[in-house]
Structure 1
Amino acid sequence: MEILASRVLLRPADYERSLAFYRDTIGLAIAREYGGGTVFYAGQSLIELAGHGGPPAGAPPFPGAFWLQVRDLYATQAELQARGVEIAREARREPWGLHEMHVADPDGVDLIFVQVPETHPLRRDTRD
């Protein structure tokens, strides 16, 4: 099997509220808009908000989280706070060496903003 493209598809309870959150509050750039939704750039990934369907009745909360890497987590936190975003968990260094901050979208989806320090193993070149 060959995967040509992928993205995360969300069906928010309130499309306009979620659109405003991802576009205006978080500030993601729009990749494309279509009659039934909006697709946002999220680094090497895409996040699509479907303006149709909504979450299935009785559906459990989103079972995962978005991992969004930023250059400066503490500046990102300040920027989001200035925009009125409620920070669910303040930026801090985790035991595994990454710096992380959590924000919830209007439907409770966890957005984990991450800064990878220069000395972290994710930055090491493993080639010989």
Structure 2
Amino acid sequence: MEILASRVLFRPKDYARSVAFYRDGLGLAIAREYAGGTVFYAGQSLIELAGHGAPADGAPPFPGALWLQVRDIAAAQEQLRERGVPIARDARREPWGLHEMHVTDPDGVTLIFVEVPEDHPLRRDSRG
């Protein structure tokens, strides 16, 4: 099987509120809009909010988290605060070496903002 593209698709309970959060709060650029949906650029991926087919009341929450890499976690945290986005967990260095900060979207999805330090194994070429 060949995968040509991928994106994360959310069906928020309040479409307009979620669009405002991702567009204005996080400052993501819009890749595409269509009748009933908005697709945002998110690094090498896309986040799509569908205003149609919203989850039924009592639907289980999103079972994971979105991992979003940034260049400077402190600057990202300050920018989000300036935009009025509540920080669920302040940025800190984790035992595994990454700097992480948590934000929660309007539907309870955890967004993990990550800075990969220069000395982290993710920055090393493992090809030998």
Amino acid at match of 1:92: R
Alignment RMSD (CA, Å): 0.7
Measure, in 2, the Cα distance between the counterparts of 1:56 and 1:27. Answer: 28
Residue aligned with 2:6, SS: coil
1:36-91 Cα deviation digits (max 9, x unpaired): 20000111110000011111332111100000000000000000001111000000
User: Could you say which residue in structure 2 is the equivalent of 1:13?
Assistant: 13
User: Could you say which residue in structure 1 is the equivalent of 2:66?
Assistant: 66
Residue aligned with 1:87, SS: coil
User: Could you say which residue in structure 2 is the equivalent of 1:25?
Assistant: 25
In structure 2, the gaps of 5 or more residues are: none
- Within 5 Å, give how 1:23-102 maps onto structure 2: 23-102=23-102
Residue aligned with 2:18, SS: helix
Residue aligned with 2:5, SS: coil
Amino acid at match of 1:8: V
Amino acid at match of 1:10: F
In structure 1, the gaps of 5 or more residues are: none
Measure, in 2, the Cα distance between the counterparts of 1:88 and 1:26. Answer: 14
- Within 5 Å, give how 1:89-128 maps onto structure 2: 89-128=89-128
TM-score by length of 2: 0.97
Residue aligned with 1:40, SS: strand
* Number of positions where the alignment pairs a residue of Structure 1 with one of Structure 2: 128
Measure, in 1, the Cα distance between the counterparts of 2:43 and 2:117. Answer: 18
Residue aligned with 2:16, SS: helix
Measure, in 2, the Cα distance between the counterparts of 1:15 and 1:93. Answer: 33
